[in-house]
């Protein structure tokens, strides 16, 4: 008996030694390569202050797929590889899913409540569960009629419209998301107002998101009077605070009696009227639901504008499904449109509307590919590079939808939307609604309208899409061409 006990202790001691040795060895691993690090301020002076997503492409060429830039308060890890992002963020969600959003956005601008910025906790988990119940893969088909009705309304509006098209599409997406969230009556009475306020709120957030704000470090600056020179950040924060409160609370509280069949009534029936998580889940869906989807639709239509041969193939495929145009598309028709599906994916890949993901934060040291990622690092995914990574995409600068259909590795290619909408515990819960509604609107517009150059313009002048300044925004600053009915 003593010999068995001694042998067991010896094995336990050996295993403990190996574990401690491995842990000690890992702690000695270097940080990923990156720009020079100055005393105190780290790599701050090498970090771009504008067009961040575009300018950070060069770091991948200099340092590789995993880059470390140190800041005064933490390390910033840039991930340029989808495989590394999957390993680090999707396979280790319990330790790499925290957030580090600055005091200015969360407290002064009023977005602390948003699930997109919240730390993983019971409230966050509950809100994600609610959204999965309402717009997850098992329930998304219940919203087909709303998607079709709002799409048909957009097609009718475009028939008499001339001018800059993206705001019209965004307004239509806003109405769609509001009807899904709150029902027909609120959409009918408040749709235009809420869509306008949503757009304003998103513009303010996006302009603030990747900027360095002194008040994030020196909180006492929040006491500066808003009328003082240099205190414009306070006036912006006050407007944002009002928008956040109105869109989150007042829309829900003041219109509770007008709710029709919708995600709101489903969640209230299941979780109760006193559950603040219901209010927050609904608010984040309709506040953020239209912006990225509109950008995806615009990218698709822009591709058809640039490549008339592709547009003709899309139209011919849709015409065959709709009995030579005798009826409008329905959402289930998508399964019979493989080429249009490939164009949808390729337009998002070739001209991504999100270059940088929202940063994750790790709650313990992580080790990957021979490098150490210190606890508390901000982990940023460069989705723009991932979608043009030449090790994944052959001829990445060429617009070629066939890569998703006939290439020998077509079945192995990642879905661009999967990269755009995040990783692990932070995957956007609205992804399924954005994909379903976005594809249907884009294909429906293509089935009814030709996309032509504006009068006096030619395609060649607009051939290269502009790089956008912020991480998430409508992708093109130039005017889309006029839509002429077929």
pLDDT score at 5: 53
Residue 464: predicted pLDDT: 40
- Calculate ∠ Cα 304-306-311, nearest 5°: 30
What pLDDT was estimated at residue 173? Answer: 92
The pLDDT value recorded for residue 468 is 27
Chain segment 424-435, per-residue pLDDT in tens: 999 988 899 999
User: Which residues are CB-contacts of 411 (< 8 A; sequence separation ≥ 6)?
Assistant: none
**Given a cut of 80, is residue 307 above it in pLDDT?**
yes
> Whole-angstrom Cα distance, residue 351 to residue 463?
12
pLDDT over threshold 80, residue 162: no
465 falls in which pLDDT band (50, 70, 90)?
very low
Mind listing the pLDDT tens digit for each residue in 196-227? Answer: 888 888 889 888 877 778 888 788 888 888 88
Task: State the pLDDT at residue 275.
Answer: 66
State how far the Cα of 49 lies from the Cα of 209, in Å rounded to an integer: 12
- Looking at 148-302, which runs of residues are DSSP E strands? none
Paired residues of 406 in beta bridges: none
Q: Residue ranges of the domains in the chain?
A: 31-485
Helix (H) or strand (E) segment spanning residue 449? strand 449-451
- Tell me what the mean pLDDT of segment 452-479 comes to: 39
Q: Which CATH class is domain 31-485?
A: mainly alpha
pLDDT tens digits along 360-405: 999 999 999 999 999 999 999 999 999 999 999 999 999 999 999 9
**Does position 65 have pLDDT exceeding 90, yes or no?**
yes
What does the pLDDT read at residue 15?
Answer: 53
- 327: Cα separation from own chain's centroid: 33
Highest mean pLDDT among 121-135, 147-161, 279-293, 377-391: 377-391
- Determine if residue 68 is labeled as part of a ligand binding site: no
Average pLDDT, the chain: 83
Tokens coding 272: 């109760």
């Amino acid at each position: 008996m003593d010999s068995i006990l001694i042998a067991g202790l010896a094995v336990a001691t050996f295993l403990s030694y190996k574990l401690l040795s491995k842990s000690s060895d890992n702690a000695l691993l270097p940080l990923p390569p990156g720009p020079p690090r100055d005393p105190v301020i780290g790599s701050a002076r090498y970090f771009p202050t504008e067009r961040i997503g575009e300018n950070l492409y060069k770091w991948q060429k200099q340092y590789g797929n995993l880059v470390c830039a140190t800041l005064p308060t933490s390390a910033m890890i840039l991930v340029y590889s989808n495989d590394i992002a999957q390993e680090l963020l999707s396979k280790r969600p319990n330790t790499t899913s925290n957030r580090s959003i600055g005091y200015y956005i969360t407290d002064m601008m009023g977005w602390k409540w948003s699930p997109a910025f919240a730390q993983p906790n019971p409230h966050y988990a509950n809100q994600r569960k609610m959204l999965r119940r309402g717009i997850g893969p098992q329930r998304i088909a219940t919203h087909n009629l709303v998607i079709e009705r709002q799409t048909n309304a957009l097609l009718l509006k475009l028939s008499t419209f001339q001018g800059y098209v993206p705001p019209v599409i965004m307004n239509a997406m806003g109405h769609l998301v509001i009807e899904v969230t709150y029902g027909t009556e609120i959409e009918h009475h408040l749709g235009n107002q809420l869509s306008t306020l949503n757009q304003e709120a998103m513009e303010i957030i996006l302009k603030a998101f990747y900027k360095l704000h002194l008040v994030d470090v020196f909180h006492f600056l929040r006491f500066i009077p808003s009328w003082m020179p240099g205190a414009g950040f306070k006036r912006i924060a006050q407007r944002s605070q009002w928008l956040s409160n109105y869109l989150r609370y007042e829309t829900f509280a003041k219109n509770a009696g007008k709710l029709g069949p919708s995600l709101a009534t489903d969640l209230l029936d299941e979780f109760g009227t006193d559950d603040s998580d219901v209010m927050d889940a609904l608010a984040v869906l309709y506040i953020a639901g239209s912006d990225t989807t509109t950008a995806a639709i615009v990218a698709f239509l822009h591709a058809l504008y640039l490549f008339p041969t592709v547009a003709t193939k899309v139209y011919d495929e849709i015409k065959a499904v709709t009995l030579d145009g005798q009826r409008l598309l329905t959402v289930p028709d998508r399964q019979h449109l493989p080429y249009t599906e490939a164009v949808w994916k390729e337009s998002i890949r070739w001209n991504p509307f999100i270059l940088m993901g929202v940063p994750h934060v790790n709650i313990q040291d992580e080790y990957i590919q021979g490098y150490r990622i210190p606890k508390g690092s901000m982990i940023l995914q460069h989705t723009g590079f991932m979608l043009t990574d030449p090790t994944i995409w052959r001829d990445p600068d060429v617009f070629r939808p066939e890569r998703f259909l006939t290439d020998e590795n077509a079945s192995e290619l990642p879905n661009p939307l999967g990269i755009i909408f995040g990783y692990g515990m932070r995957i956007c819960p609205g992804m399924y609604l954005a994909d379903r509604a976005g594809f249907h609107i884009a294909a429906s517009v293509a089935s009814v309208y030709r996309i032509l150059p504006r009068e006096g313009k030619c395609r060649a002048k607009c051939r290269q899409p502009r790089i956008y300044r912020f991480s998430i925004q409508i992708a093109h600053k130039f005017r889309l061409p006029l839509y002429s009915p077929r």
